[in-house]
Homo-oligomer: A and B are copies of this chain.
Amino acid sequence: MFKIEKKISKSLARAGVLQTAHGEIKTPAFVAVGTKATVKSLTPEQIKDAGSQIVLTNTYHLYLEPGEKQIKRSGGLHKFMNWSGPMMTDSGGFQAFSLGVAYGSGINKFIGTLAPERDDLDEAYSENKEKKAQVTEDGVKFRSVIDGSLHFFTPEKSIQIQNDLGADIIFAFDECTSPHASKEYLREAMERTHRWAERCLEEFKNLTPNQQQLFGIVQGGRYEDLRKKSAKFITRLDFDGFGIGGSFVKEDMATAVKWVNEILPEEKSRHLLGVGEPIDLILGVENGCDTFDCVAPTRMARNGTLYTRKGKINILNAKFRNQMSPIETGCGCYTCQNYTVSYLAHLFRAKEMLAATLATIHNLYFLNNLMSQIREAILNDKFSEFKEEFLKNYKS
């Protein structure tokens, strides 16, 4: 399923190819987030033209609306949303916690790197979620954000839903913890996630065989002993690949990922959940991750925040009204090839929908192109030079 093409000495970075039932992904790669079976404001052709090889959609949201059975009747997610390439679904765990019982009741925003950039940033998380989310050994009880109805996700239920949805890569049901959680709670949640991982695998084997791959999720927060314990436990199970989940304050991310990836088997693919900042992507690759998803790049685009090699710009800044050049000279994206910043600034000021489309195309292209350049650098044994050069120019 995963083939390493090249490894880098003195780091965990590697370039590879991840095979799925709907084609291959050249890694490292950024996964475009299409939460509700659409990458907001883009057609599948535009997603592909922006260089995206793979899309991630959201189990929790699609379970609530239109329902996984409806999507199954439509022939599965690929047919439903007209995306013929590789696809992932997350397990719904993060949303069940953050949008579920905790929703609207004194929730706090994450200050960490991973979790806040997973889907539903704005709705975030509760420090007290262990009380509000009603996590039990069996699963998670939560309320629908649509109509307030009560729902219950178990590991088995998550796998069944993801099986109906029909993505190529699916994830085990995990509990995503707050960066403020106590070590005691982190350990408890991690051990529950491990038991759930075994139940997910069991359920996956019981279902009609298909070409889906099931990835297990490593948790453990910011603690070395927990992360290593989790990596070892998940490694022993028969997963097709791995996700690294959880939440850290920003500085801890690369370290925690390294602890985990030094343990995970080299020959299986590793996905870092909820990470999409350019610098974090480079650090993630350096520390052994192959794929990444994050809602932030597309959400930021809709708010007018755009990537350039020098850092992010906000298109609503007055000076951009008169800029007759593209967002970035030399950028190969559809937006930069055809429109000035002046036009884009006009669209944002006028609150036109095309603003979101053109900005999203640019940000996706920027990250896809970054990943493609990282891949080239690895293949040519120039990863550290690339990293140094990029970091020198990019102001975060």
Contact = CB atoms under 8 A, between A and B. Distances in A.
A4 interface: no
A136 B352 CA distance: 34
A350 interface: yes
For chain A, the bracket of interface size reads 35 or more
A322 interface: yes
A250 to B, nearest CB: 30
Say how many copies of this protein the assembly contains: 2
Interface in A41-88: 41-43, 61, 65-66, 70, 73-74, 80-82
B343 A80 contact: yes
State the main secondary structure of chain A at its contact with B.
Answer: helix
Given A65-B346, A343-B80, A346-B37, A356 B357 contact: no
Interface string A336-370: 00111011011101101110111000000000000
B74 A340 contact: yes
Contact of A352 (B36, B324, B347): B36
A235 interface: no
Contacts of A353: 40-41, 353, 356-357
Given A357-B41, A357-B43, A70 B350 contact: no
A321 interface: yes
A27 interface: no
A40 B352 contact: yes
Given A37-B343, A353-B356, A73 B324 contact: yes
A55 to B, nearest CB: 13
B340 A41 contact: no
A61 B65 CA distance: 38
A352 B38 contact: yes
Nearest to A338: B82
Given A36-B350, A38-B347, A70 B356 contact: no
Interface string A279-307: 00000000000000000000000000000
A82 to B, nearest CB: 5
Contacts of A356: 353
Given A74-B342, A349-B66, A43 B354 contact: yes
Nearest to A346: B66
B324 A354 contact: no
A322 B324 CA distance: 47
A60 to B, nearest CB: 13
B354 A66 contact: no
Interface string A6-42: 0000000000000000000000000000001110111
A80 B341 CA distance: 10
Contacts of A80: 340, 342-343
Contact of A354 (B38, B65, B342, B345): B38
A345 B38 CA distance: 13
Q: Counting chain B CB atoms within 10 Å of each CB, which of A41, A80, A350, A358 scores highest? A: A350
- What 3 pairs across the A-B complex have the smallest Cβ distances? A41-B353, A66-B346, A36-B350
Interface of A: 36-38, 40-43, 61, 65-66, 70, 73-74, 80-82, 321-322, 324, 334, 338-340, 342-343, 345-347, 349-350, 352-354, 356-358
Given A41-B354, A41-B357, A66-B321, 17 more contacts: A36-B350, A38-B347, A38-B350, A38-B352, A38-B354, A40-B352, A41-B353, A65-B349, A65-B350, A66-B345, A66-B346, A66-B349, A74-B343, A80-B342, A82-B339, A82-B343, A353-B357
